[in-house]
Amino acid sequence: MKFLVVMFLLMSNVYADKIIKIEIGKDYKNYSTEELRQRVWRLEKAVWQLQRRVFELEATSQNSEKKDWICKITAMGQTYTGIGGSRAVAEAYAYENCKKGQKGSTFFCKVPKCSN
């Protein structure tokens, strides 16, 4: 799915249009039918451009995982860290690194200290 989104974004940049600026209308009674149709078309195109930009921003934010939390465990004089997008993920990485550093044992891997 991410591949399709990325491909869509790359393809959409190839056919980039001039950004449409929308202005608030004043008196719609004086507009002709053709002018109203053109206005609706411009509004739809502006919404489409905005939606495309929102999708692009969403795709890039999902691809770059934030690593806001860091947790540390001190065991037998060694410090093991874990970094993740949530406290739980950072704790899991810290425990995993501690377990590796302690040759598979978690006996000395106690409660991590975490911050973000």
3 vs 110, higher pLDDT: 110
The count of domains in the chain is 2
Residues 9 and 59 in one domain: yes
pLDDT tens, position by position, 22-44: 777 777 788 899 989 998 999 99
**Residue 11 confidence (pLDDT):** 52
Q: Are residues 7 and 53 in the same domain?
A: yes
pLDDT score at 71:
95
pLDDT score recorded for residue 30: 84
Residue 110 has pLDDT above 60, yes or no: yes
Same domain membership, residue 59 and residue 93: no
Whether 7 and 58 share a structural domain: yes
Q: Which domain holds residue 21?
A: 2-63
Q: Within this chain, do residues 41 and 7 fall inside the same structural domain, yes or no?
A: yes
- Please write the tens of the pLDDT for every residue from 56-94: 888 776 656 566 899 999 999 999 999 988 899 999 999
CA-CA distance, 11 to 4, in Å (whole number)?
Answer: 10
59 lies in the same domain as 78: no
> Which residues fall within 8 angstroms of residue 86, CB to CB, at 6 or more apart?
68, 69
